Structure 1
Amino acid sequence: MNTLKLWQRCASTLGGKWLFAKMLCFKAPYFSSISPQFVELRPEHCKVRINKRRAVLNHIGTVHAIAMCNMAELAGGTMTEVTVPATHRWIPKGMTVEYLKKASSDLVAIATPVKTNDWSEAGEYKVRVDVLDDMNDLVFQAIITMWVSAKKTVS
């Protein structure tokens, strides 16, 4: 089952969003370190939430920069997964980040494409991820460059 269909099936049931996050973290265990909660997922859009809790804090009591990077990569990657055609594959190629304000609350990451992509040839696909605090202030921003190409066909 593809990721979008799995999300649609899970999101409509009690505890399904929690289960979806657990399944994704089982496949990519590093993401479990931030205990993500998926809020929305559709082509060209993903919204992920994390709670401010001890496991994601730095020495000054704010959400750690790397926890926000992890959150951005999860939101951006999941959005890319449900956006690119099933005939294609993708991999993160790079990420540029900006830390704009101390992250002193729970956070929400919103991933969207920078522009519409042409899937006819392999190339870079840029994803913007904005991370907002409880006051809806932008605390972190990332541009993730994904490399997208057609899957190899087996002859």
Structure 2
Amino acid sequence: MTRPNQLARTLARFDALPTALRVRLVSLVLGRIVPLVGTAGLRFEEVSARRVVVGIRNRRPVQNHIQGVHAAGMALLAETATGFSVGMHLPDDKLPLIKTMQIDYLRRAQGDLRAEAHLSEEQIALMHAQDKGEVTVAVRITDAAGETPIEARMVWAWVPKARR
């Protein structure tokens, strides 16, 4: 297993808290790290070495003209789940960067949305073995009806934090 990075160490502080309180505090902390995530009110249901689960409530500030979660909100949800999945494993001396977002809108979303992302052991090992590289992270997005309104995949790159 790889050594925990700063993000993983920070989130580990909340492990002993009751679930409801942990979800609120983790969502607040991560919403401060990435301000748009906090503004959109994304809720981090789980952030672990195995998977990242993020939700967004279908509420007025994130809605489109047909009272569903706006397409940009759906993209933010997918990008956030995959980005924090990468962020949980990337060594502290590396910087994650989104490289490609591919989103296919398949059907009208119903209600709240939930995104789940994870990396394979091979992808995690690659992040620790290479100074620069990229991984394709699949993400599963479901709506309140249990359907998949969008399909998304994100390509995340990493580079050294310090320029040479």
TM-score range, shorter chain: 0.7 to 0.9
Change (3 A) 1:127 1:61: same
User: Shift of the alpha carbon at 1:38?
Assistant: 0.9
1:106 partner amino acid: D
Counterpart of 1:4 in structure 2 is: 8
Kept after mapping to 1: 8 A contact 2:52/2:84:
yes
| Counterpart code for 2:147 | D
Q: Which runs of 5+ in 1 are unaligned?
A: none
| Post-superposition CA distance 1:114-135 (Å, at most 9, x none) | 7832232221111112210122
* Structure showing the higher strand proportion among its residues: 1
SS in 1 for 2:53: strand
What letter matches 1:3 in structure 2?
L
1:93 corresponds to 2:99? yes
Aligned to 2:33: 27
2:138 partner amino acid: R
Q: Distance in 2 between matches of 1:33 and 1:65?
A: 16
Match of 1:145 in 2: 155
Counterpart CA distance in 1 for 2:154 and 2:120 is 10
- Relative to the length of structure 1, the TM-score reads 0.86
Correspondent of 2:145 among 114, 119, 135: 135
Aligned partner of residue 138 in structure 1, secondary structure: coil
The more displaced of 74-83 and 1-10 is 1-10
Other-structure match for 1:78: 84
TM-score by length of 2: 0.82
CA distance in structure 2 between the partners assigned to 1:12 and 1:106 by the alignment = 27
Q: Which runs of 5+ in 2 are unaligned?
A: none
Q: For residue 137 of structure 1, what is the amino acid of its counterpart?
A: E
Change (3 A) 1:57 1:11: farther
CA distance in 1, matches of 2:29, 2:92: 20
Please show how residues 54-73 of structure 1 align to structure 2 within 5 Å.
54-73=60-79
- CA distance in structure 2 between the aligned counterparts of 1:151 and 1:130, rounded to whole angstroms: 29
Number of positions where the alignment pairs a residue of Structure 1 with one of Structure 2: 154
For residues 127 and 55 of structure 1, the distance between their equivalents in structure 2, rounded to whole angstroms, comes to 28
How much does 1:3 deviate? 1.5
Matches within 5 A, 1:31-50: 31-50=37-56
Report deviation, 1:151.
4.6
SS in 2 for 1:10: coil
